Amino acid sequence: KEEEELQKRFMAPPVTGLRELRRRRRELRSRMELLIMETQGEVCRALAALDPGASFAVDTWERKEGGGGISCVLQDGEVFEKAGVNVSVVFGLLSEEAARQMRSRGKSLKAKDGKLPFCAMGVSSVIHPKNPHVPTMHFNYRYFEIEEADGTKQWWFGGGTDLTPTYLNEEDAVHFHKTLKEACDKHDLKLYPKYKKWCDDYFFIKHRGERRGIGGIFFDDVDSPSKEEVFQFVKSCAKAVVPCYVPIVKRHCHDSFTPEEKLWQQLRRGRYVEFNLVYDRGTKFGLLTPGSRIESILMSLPLTARWEYMHTPPESSKEAEILEVLRNPKDWVH
């Protein structure tokens, strides 16, 4: 009975298998896999309810080196041009390149005969709406575990949720940030300001001198105060995804827009692509992991985007207004 109930909340059977997850349900790995499966289901159902004519294609894939995933993608809807919500649970041996990337972030990884067994799992999503007055949204929550030569395990969590509007709407920005702040504040009042700054710093397109969007929260390599406390924090953040975004979509998905506004959206999406392909660590890690599924990694890219030579919006325009905020991040909640 419990298995049937769980199955209804998921988009597909989990990678590890329900029996196995229930048998090891006290282990954090199993609890995290159940959380990412539930988050995928919640987000897909919420998006499908906003775009009733469209439906998610559900793809289950396996990785021959170990593990697999579930990719759910909605394309060419009335409201969403492309929305993807992916779950992946992969394990095996860390590639040299991936281990190098981690060591460069201060991880001291002691390999046994050059081998590092790892397990990585997460849920990630990028939602590109049709209407330029509805922002793009991205979130990702993940857990990583590595077994070193002496059998000790290093583990950490990472993730975040951030918003990329084409045009600035202060009310939306405040709602989005407040919802994330409430999720963080349940655990520690220091978390939101710290992770908000980290988000602004991380999603920075250096060669453009601007952020990808108006931020949110972002964190990585979090392994304290304890496994249980960090897991509960990540759970609160995952549960905040639907309430921080869905009201904004409802508010604007029927707004009228001009061809000029649509063009500006396409140019902003070009910036989104630049960040993801040049700087994003998750994209890089995925591309460096043997046997990873390229379609799922590049799901974050929009269906359409544009790059115009030397495009500069007129001063004091609504287009210039959003650029100002992308160059100088604001505090939205105080």
User: What gap in Å lies between CA 296 and CA 292, rounded to an integer?
Assistant: 8
Burial code of 294-313, b = ≥16 C-beta within 10 A, e = fewer? Answer: eebbebbbbeebbeeeeeee
In a domain? residue 283: yes
Q: What total number of domains does the chain contain?
A: 1
Give me 318's structure tokens: 């609504």
Residue 76 lies in a domain: yes
- Report d(CA 289, CA 275) in Å as an integer: 20
Q: What is the pTM assigned to this prediction?
A: 0.94
Residue ranges of alpha helices (H) inside 51-169 are 96-103
Vertex 11, ends 23 and 26: CA angle to 5°? 20
> In this structure, how many other beta carbons lie within 10 angstroms of the beta carbon of residue 242?
16
Does any domain span residue 219? yes
17 by Cβ neighbours in 10 Å (0-12 / 13-18 / 19+) ranks as exposed
In a domain, 103, yes or no: no
Q: Which of 128, 133, 138, 177 is catalytic?
A: 138
Distance CA(104)–CA(222), nearest Å, equals: 16
Residue 120 tokens read as: 């990585």
- Any idea what the CATH number is for the domain that residue 305 is in? 3.40.1500.10
Mean pLDDT (the chain) is 93
Structural domain harbouring 298: 1-88+121-140+162-327
Indicate whether 155 belongs to any domain: no
Contact present, 37 and 58 (Cβ < 8 Å):
no
Domain assignment present for residue 106? The answer is no
| 138 is annotated as an active-site residue | yes
pLDDT tens digit string along 205-249?
999 999 999 999 999 999 999 999 999 999 999 999 999 999 999
- Residue range 75-105, pLDDT digits in tens: 999 999 999 999 999 998 887 777 777 777 7
